[in-house]
Amino acid sequence: MLVEVVRSDMVESRHRGRVVTLAADGGSALSLGDVTEPIYGRSANKPLQATAMVELGLRLPSKLLALVCASHSGEPVHVAGVRRILVSAGLDEGYLQNTPDLPIDVESARDVIRAGGDRRSILQNCSGKHAGMLATCKVNGWSLGDYLEVDHPLQRHITGTIERLSGERVAHIGVDGCGAPVHALSLFGLTRAFAAVASAPDGTAGAHVAAATRDHPDLMGGKGRDITALIKGVPGLMAKDGAEGVLAGAMADGRAVGIKITDGSRRGLAAVMLAALDLLGIDTRGADALHRTPVLGGGRVVGEAHACPLG
């Protein structure tokens, strides 16, 4: 049991899941639930995919590389950055094949609608990853129209990189919500891959990716997003969330955490991460507000979602 949701002093819901933490030496410090069963990392896989792209020759300023790793909110700064990635490769948004959508950020979505706009691929939260994929194909002279096919050279290299970083074979490749291939690993493997990227030596692809995610939290998510607050609040943390209740994070010394909520809920996910980081001796005081997700009733706070004890 990882999360309790309390309303008016009574537990209303509970969320079960799995947690694994790794010590700096790579050994498992905590393992709750079956951490060997394959899960889709969903968008938590993005830093691993970005590492493969940098290995293949993708060269971007740190801010733009962060957008390749991000599930951004579609704020103007995010959309402008994605457009810069495309322009750097001589491309425009017409090449993007991710699912058209409105921004996650409510005000940005309203602005699009007020201006007579509609759902577009560049506004969707995965557009940075797709722009990075296209730019990587352009660098290598690979075809663009089929860049999402599993047997495309880009996707084959991404699969190999994920297997190398995780230390295990990919159990299955499905289709993510944005249309890109999504790799299934054990939670232990996903966590080990995050540790590998976060602790990568200076000058390597992993080091560039880790720095981009740590240094630009506002680009990794956006206003009001837990992932942004988590990275800001825990200095040195490389972290990424994914759909269906996935969250992974790691420090430069190799300490790492992986979480999967069984029912896919995001409620209390950041609080579980903080509880796990605390057990590893990592200072999380800057992210205290994430320990409790408010539960509302009649427009006022009447409860909270919080992590259950892990120890």
| Residue labelled with tokens 């899960």 | 39
Please give the Cα distance from 215 to 219 (Å, whole number). 9
As beta bridge partners, residue 249 has 239, 257
State residue 311's pLDDT score: 73
- pLDDT given for residue 116 in this prediction: 97
Amino acid identity, position 148: L
pLDDT tens for each residue of 184-223: 999 999 999 999 999 999 999 999 999 999 999 999 999 9
What's the mean pLDDT in 125-149?
98
Q: Identify the H or E element spanning 63.
A: helix 62-69
Digit-coded pLDDT (tens) for 236-294: 999 999 999 999 999 999 999 999 999 999 999 999 999 999 999 999 999 999 999 99
Supply angle C-alpha 108, 239, 82, rounded to 5: 40
How do residues 30-66 score in pLDDT, each as one tens digit?
999 999 999 999 999 999 999 999 999 999 999 999 9
**Which residues on neighbouring strands pair with residue 301, listed in sequence order?**
296
Residues 6+ apart with CB under 8 A from 126: 43, 71, 98, 99, 176, 177, 178, 180
Which domains are seen in the chain, by residue range?
3-307 (3.40.710)
pLDDT reading at 151 higher than 90:
yes
Each residue of 74-129: pLDDT tens digit?
999 999 999 999 999 999 999 999 999 999 999 999 999 999 999 999 999 999 99
Predicted confidence band of residue 25 (pLDDT cuts 50, 70, 90): very high
Establish how many alpha carbons lie within 13 A of residue 116's alpha carbon, considering only the half-sphere containing its beta carbon: 0
| The dihedral sign for the CA sequence 62, 67, 71, 76 | positive
Mutual orientation of helices 46-55 and 205-215 as an angle, nearest 10°? 130
Shortest CA distance to 177 belongs to which of 97, 107, 106, 109? Answer: 97
CB atoms within 10 A of CB 153: 16
Number of C-beta neighbours around residue 47 at 10 A: 30
Confidence of residue 9 (pLDDT cuts 50, 70, 90): very high
Rounded to whole angstroms, the Cα distance separating 302 from 295 reads: 6
Q: What residues contact 202, with CB distance under 8 A and at least 6 apart?
A: none
Amino acid at 296: L
